[in-house]
């Protein structure tokens, strides 16, 4: 189904993820001096009250979000990003992140 540009609300490669920030790497810098960090978003789902399905999604953050990533480790967040294909995998590049507290998002 084709939608006119003004009717689409989200870009094609935009991603919204809800999960827990895990495995934040050490802060590093690009050759241009931009801070960068890698981490993962862990999404958990209980299946049939017996098993827990865990999905881990790699995330790459630059600038402000890279410097703040460590403070979000082990916290529930709502992340908005875009899909990026690297040489070895597909990952999410962080654009914004909000902490989720009791189901309510609060801006950072």
- Residue 31: inside a domain: yes
Question: For residue 2, is it within any domain?
Answer: no
Element (H, E) at 63: none
Asked whether residue 30 is domain-assigned, the answer is yes
Number of domains in the chain: 1
> Can you give the pTM of this predicted structure?
0.70
Cα 17–chain centre separation: 6
CATH classification of the domain holding 80: 2.40.50.140
- HSE-up of residue 12 (Cα within 13 Å, Cβ side): 4
Per-residue pLDDT at 1 = 38
Mean pLDDT of all residues in 55-71: 87
Any domain includes 1: no
Q: How far is the C-alpha of 69 from the C-alpha of 92, rounded, in Å?
A: 14
DSSP code string of 15-57: EEEEEEEE-PPPPEE-TTS-EEEEEEEEEEEEETTTEEEEEEE
Average pLDDT over residues 95-100: 75
pLDDT, tens digit, 9 for 90 and up, residues 4-50: 444 445 556 777 888 889 999 999 999 999 999 989 888 887 777 77
C-alpha 106, offset from chain centre: 16
Q: Say what percent of the chain tops pLDDT 90.
A: 14
In a domain, 4, yes or no: no
Q: What is the mean pLDDT of the chain?
A: 76
Determine the pLDDT at residue 54: 83
22 part of a folded domain: yes
Query: Is 5 contained in some domain?
Result: no
- Structural domain boundaries, residue 66: 10-106
């Amino acid at each position: 189904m084709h939608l006119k540009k003004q009717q689409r609300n989200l870009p094609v490669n935009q991603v919204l993820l809800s999960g827990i920030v895990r495995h934040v790497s050490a802060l590093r810098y690009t050759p241009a001096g931009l801070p960068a960090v890698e981490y993962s978003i862990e999404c958990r789902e209980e299946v049939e009250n017996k098993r827990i399905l865990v999905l881990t999604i790699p995330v790459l953050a630059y600038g402000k979000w890279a410097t703040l990533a460590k403070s979000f480790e082990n916290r529930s967040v709502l992340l908005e990003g875009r899909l990026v294909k690297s040489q070895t995998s597909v990952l999410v590049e962080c654009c914004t992140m909000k902490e989720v507290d009791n189901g309510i998002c609060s801006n950072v």
